[in-house]
Chain A
Amino acid sequence: MNLKFELNGKIIEENRADALDNLADYLRGELHLTGCKIGCREGECGACSVLVDDRLTLACITPLLAVDGKKVKTIEGIKEEKLFKIIEESFLEAGAVQCGFCTPGMAIAAYALLKGKRNLSRDEIRAGISGNICRCTGYNAIVEAVEMADIKRGEGI
């Protein structure tokens, strides 16, 4: 099946023998975009989070055919954006990173959440990252980091 989509701003055309190959294996194994982590392979842990048309998406349970005609962004594709820089800073400042395995997925979830709404409550933040599992931090520092980024970013970001 012929697929055409945008990945981190570049147009990609692929002729896939099996269009049900999952997006996470494709991003990591074929394109070496290793910011997309594979934790559970069943949509439970959120480590493989990416954006599809700016919406939070779990790459491990996304068949390639579902991104045909869409815009896919991985953490590599947003790392130069102002909002991402603020998220990165806030994660460091709040101590929201320990082993780091969940961090790219967590940052993508935070990015999707912050893009969607301003002045988030703590409950909204918790709900927004509820699909991302972290075994180290106990989440409080991550919630603080997202809250910090929301305050820091100011108008227009």
Chain B
Amino acid sequence: MRNCYSPLTLEESLKILKEIPCWILAGGTDFMLKKERDISENILYLGKISELKYIEEEGARIKIGAMTTLDNLEKSQILENFLPLLDTISSPGIKNHATIGGNLCNASPIGDMIPPMYALNGKVVLARQEGKREIPVEEFFLGRKKTALEREEVLTEINFENLKEYKFIWKKVAGREANALSKLSLFVAYKEEKGKLSDLRVAIGGMGPEVIRDRELEEEILKKLSLREKPGIEGYMKIISPITDGRSDAAYKTAVFRNILTGALSEIKNEIGEK
């Protein structure tokens, strides 16, 4: 029979992990659906650790504690920019319990918090008893459901650029508007002032084992848009690798992806063209 641990501090949880291999449990909203639940594995539940619940602006970055719930994110003034995105995720009963740390560690290619973290150069903080390390999200996600989190580590924080002067475009394709998992998603962040586009970032969810971001392609698109030209997206069509799954098939995702990316870039082109 498994043992369940419910420590009150991070220090205590790292001590337990050092000695005992555990499945780390955050809000449980995904875990409770899994077959893994039936495996007799020890559980380390982080729900009582209040020091992992925070949203702070520090210099040019926003820091969020791993056990901060989606409901906390939605109610935070610091994250007002993200409301259109948070609005499309899950339902109130889930948001009250689902955490950002859980969403990240779950490492689903369609986790809705992940594309923005790629676009905003997010970094995760991984703690172990001996100390902590901070790595970019690109190094954290190693494939479908795979992360760089080691057995003795807990993800304690995600931090990312606080781009107040940027605009965000979020396109989520799902079976319906409310409480649905994404089939694919697109997060675009761009900086535009008086018709001049100075930065553009594109992060794509659900079209490969990990979220896709390609800085060279972003640079090409930025150049084209700055010249008021229609940017090509063939570069992206080459690097996507969607799979057919229970929610939709690869051909559908490819066609829809082409449409939403083209649509998002036209939105930006039209916006700067009007100025």
A66-B97 contact given A17-B1, A56-B92, CB 8 Å threshold = yes
A63 within 8 Å of B (CB atoms) = yes
Contacts of A20 in B (CB 8 A): 2, 4, 32, 37, 43
Rounded to whole angstroms, the CA-CA distance of A50 and B161 in the bound complex is 37
Closest to B69 in A: A55
Q: Is the CB of A62 within 8 A of B45?
A: no
A-side contacts of B87, CB under 8 Å: 127
CB of B33 closer than 8 Å to a CB of A: yes
Residues B4 and A19 in contact, CB atoms below 8 Å apart: yes
Mark out the residues of chain B between 85 and 139 whose CB falls within 8 Å of any chain A CB in the assembled complex. 87, 90-94, 96-97
Given contacts A65-B6, A66-B28, contact A131 B92 (CB under 8 A): yes
Q: How far is the CA of A17 from the CA of B92 in the complex (A)?
A: 30
Task: Find chain B residues with CB under 8 A from A52 CB.
Answer: 96
Interface residue B179 (Cβ < 8 Å from any Cβ of A): yes
- CB proximity of B74 to chain A, nearest CB, Å: 10
Chain B contacts with A in 1-57, Cβ cutoff 8 A: 1-4, 6, 25, 28-29, 32-33, 37, 43, 45, 47-48
**Which interface class (under 10, 10 to 19, 20 to 34, 35 or more) fits B?**
20 to 34
Chain A residue with the shortest CB-CB distance to B23: A20
CB distance B37 to A43 under 8 Å?
no
Q: Is the CB of A63 within 8 A of B94?
A: no
Nearest B residue (CB) for A130: B178
Q: Which of A87-127 contact B (CB under 8 A)?
A: 109, 112-113, 127
Contact A49 B48, beta carbon cutoff 8 Å: no
Closest beta carbon of chain A to B126's beta carbon, Å: 24
A130 touches B91 (CB 8 A): yes
B176's nearest neighbour on chain A, judged by CB, is A130
Does A112 lie within 8 Å of B92, measured CB to CB? yes
Least CB separation from B2: chain A residue:
A18
Nearest CB of A to B98, in Å = 9
Provide a sorted-by-A list of 23 A–B residue pairs whose CB atoms are within 8 angstroms. Answer: A1-B3, A1-B4, A20-B2, A20-B32, A42-B33, A43-B29, A43-B32, A43-B33, A46-B91, A52-B96, A57-B97, A58-B97, A61-B29, A62-B32, A63-B32, A65-B47, A66-B45, A68-B6, A68-B48, A69-B48, A109-B93, A130-B178, A131-B179
